[in-house]
Structure 1
Amino acid sequence: MQGKPGQKALRTRIYIDGYNLYYGCLRRTQHKWLDLIALFELEILPSILVSDDDGNVRISELLSSPSIKYFTAKIVESVARAEDSVSSQARYHTALRKLYDGRIQLVEGYYAVNKMTVKIVDASAPDRQPRDCQEICAWKIEEKQSDVNISLQAYHDAITGAVDQVVIVTNDTDIAPALRMIRDHTNVRVGLVVPTTDHQRIPNTELANLAHWVRTHITQVELGRSQLPRVIPGRKPTVKPESWYARPDLLAQVLELAIPIRGDRGSAFKWLQKPNAYLDDLCPIDMVETEEGAKRVADYILGWIAAKAAEEQIP
């Protein structure tokens, strides 16, 4: 989006509620290995028409250090949904720090896991008042400090003149007071990106009313185009978890066939990621997202193995 010639770009910083983003866009998808810089710098911000108080269209330009403040909390192993949840999250955080040192700042809260007494809804009398309902002891799992951290940091950056525009990625009404203060006490533009796909969550009305502009969703195509490289180099390379692919079960089956041929896991992945002339120039890694595609890749590998075996038997 082009602004008026001669006008300065809006110095922009993104504030992401990692919990909201994960559960709104990424859970149960193959897009968890998300390149946050690419998503906002190449996809989201260029799609937004931002006007200043005089009605002039302005370009949004990410600040260099940091461009994004990512608010998250380390998963507690005792409540993790998968065996590799803790290690996979840690690997993702490491990848972001390695690839975007200085551009992405991780701000950590924490998970609180506590036993507490709660009232249960009586199925036979769903309209019964809570005071008349049975009590049970249950686990309560809450992410702590992220909302407060987002509010404080966004307001601090706005009031100190560090930014011309804050872009908040959440649908949580708890940060509404901070946005109201930014609007009341500064000239900073406020953008809201609702972390959902295909309009699955309605934008929070209070947040939307406090924003200068609202992006109501993030598309699956945008998420797919904004993925980190499988391997982030370094003294110890950081590799995308295999459980984060679309169909880890199908990927494992194809890898079992490809690794003995290619020699090792890394070489097998390199082969999977290249277009293959014998597979209509498709990348095998994309094909193993469906059972039909995985079968085609497996059949090709098995056919190649059979052909090699036949060649070796020829005197």
Structure 2
Amino acid sequence: MTIWLEGEKAGESRFFRLWGMEMQVSPELEPLRTRVYIDGYNFYYGCLRGTPYKWLDLLPLFEKHILPSILTTDTQGHPRSSVLLPEPSIKFFTAQIVERVAKATDSVSSQARYHTALRKMHNGRIELVEGYYAVNEMKVKIVDAENPKLPPRECQEILAWKVEEKQSDVNLALHAYHDAVTDAVDQVIIVTNDTDLVPALQMMRVHTSVRIGLVIPTRDHQRTPNTELAKQAHWVRTHITYDELAACQFPRVIPGRKPTTKPESWYAYPDLLQQVLDLAIPVRGSRAAAFKWMEQPNSHLDGQRPIELMETESGARQVLDYIHHWLAQQSLDGE
């Protein structure tokens, strides 16, 4: 895994590869009190969109995977361990999707379920800070199809919808800066690749001794860290791996007076899942009972759980084939 650590001169970096590297931390030094600040929009589009990992539990991702992968030093250059502050450990900056511009019919309800899961699961260790989406009509210039190099002032003007997230980046900057100047933290971890955060990080470097870590929300180097943003950090984590995302999923159902359930459209193959449910529900009696069956090891599927097989297309079709075979056998037995 590649981590950038700040070099001896401001703005310079060097590469450290930490596979198998034993981090020697002085036992008498207190761990750096750390809080994570996540740009939810940037995180979704960089890490989660188009994956089956949207039902992501952020706390173990950072506490058990990202933080242990970092060799952190203090202002004197001493190696230091890091510990997430208890309440909150993570501040997640987001905005509620506007139904009339959502791409899917269940986008609003799915996001609401996820936000509920984040609030319920860890007793206050994850705090949601909400901005909002503004949807406005505005005049825009369109690129000339016949002459793409035509300057904007000479292009046709049309009326279009502009959907813009408001306040999230400002909220993140203010929360991180406030926590730094009030000595609430020793280290901030900023999860974004948005250059709008550069001025806030610059001010933290000037006015505080807080260590700044930057995690680029991208999977396996799909985006490179923004140079201006990375220059302000003491260390940079360049990506998050598929394995880390897969290892940090919420349970399908989060208990409570009103249980919170993973949206079915967030599974790897929702269409195949629906076919399985359409066949299993009449047999098991309810959707909940069908899922309960899917979560049990099945001797006819080599001891595997159907719900885990649903993570691949071939596995999902194996489950479908088994159900079709079982139903056909039941029909024959009943004749």
Tell me the TM-score range normalised by the shorter chain: over 0.9
Pairing 1:224–2:252 present: no
Matches within 5 A, 1:41-52: 41-52=63-74
Equivalent in the alignment of 1:120: 142
Equivalent in the alignment of 1:169: 191
Equivalent in the alignment of 1:206: 228
Q: CA deviation at 1:8?
A: 0.8
The C-alpha deviation readout for 1:242-266, integer Å capped at 9, x for no partner, is 0111111000111122223333212
Q: Which runs of 5+ in 2 are unaligned?
A: 1-22
How many correspondences in the alignment? 313
AA partner of residue 273 (structure 2): L
Q: Tell me, in whole angstroms, the C-alpha distance in 2 between the residues paired with 1:118 and 1:302.
A: 54
Q: Tell me, in whole angstroms, the C-alpha distance in 2 between the residues paired with 1:296 and 1:270.
A: 18
Q: Is the 8 A contact 1:250 1:289 kept in 2?
A: no
Q: CA deviation at 1:269?
A: 1.3
Q: Tell me, in whole angstroms, the C-alpha distance in 1 between the residues paired with 2:214 and 2:98.
A: 29
Match of 2:52 among 30, 36, 51: 30
Q: CA deviation at 1:270?
A: 2.2
Partner SS, residue 203 of structure 1: coil
Q: Tell me, in whole angstroms, the C-alpha distance in 1 between the residues paired with 2:328 and 2:145.
A: 61
Q: Is the 8 A contact 1:194 1:216 kept in 2?
A: yes
Q: Tell me, in whole angstroms, the C-alpha distance in 2 between the residues paired with 1:294 and 1:232.
A: 24
Q: Tell me, in whole angstroms, the C-alpha distance in 2 between the residues paired with 1:137 and 1:312.
A: 64
Match of 2:128 among 106, 115, 125: 106
Q: CA deviation at 1:309?
A: 5.0
Moved more, 54-63 or 140-149: 54-63
Structural RMSD (CA): 1.5
AA partner of residue 84 (structure 1): D
Q: Tell me, in whole angstroms, the C-alpha distance in 1 between the residues paired with 2:27 and 2:183.
A: 23
Equivalent in the alignment of 2:272: 250
Q: Is the 8 A contact 1:2 1:59 kept in 2?
A: no
Q: Tell me, in whole angstroms, the C-alpha distance in 1 between the residues paired with 2:24 and 2:271.
A: 45
Q: Tell me, in whole angstroms, the C-alpha distance in 2 between the residues paired with 1:78 and 1:23.
A: 20
The C-alpha deviation readout for 1:200-231, integer Å capped at 9, x for no partner, is 11101011010011011111111111111111
AA partner of residue 231 (structure 1): V
Partner SS, residue 105 of structure 2: coil
AA partner of residue 292 (structure 2): K
AA partner of residue 71 (structure 2): L
Q: Which runs of 5+ in 1 are unaligned?
A: none
The C-alpha deviation readout for 1:57-108, integer Å capped at 9, x for no partner, is 2111110000000000000011000001011111111111111231111000
Q: CA deviation at 1:2?
A: 5.8
Q: Tell me, in whole angstroms, the C-alpha distance in 1 between the residues paired with 2:135 and 2:316.
A: 40
Q: Residues 2, 251 of structure 1: CA spacing in aligned structure 2 closer, same or farther, 3 A cutoff? A: farther
Matches within 5 A, 1:126-165: 126-165=148-187
Moved more, 175-184 or 127-136: 127-136
TM-score (norm 1): 0.95
Q: Tell me, in whole angstroms, the C-alpha distance in 2 between the residues paired with 1:44 and 1:275.
A: 32
Q: Tell me, in whole angstroms, the C-alpha distance in 2 between the residues paired with 1:110 and 1:199.
A: 30
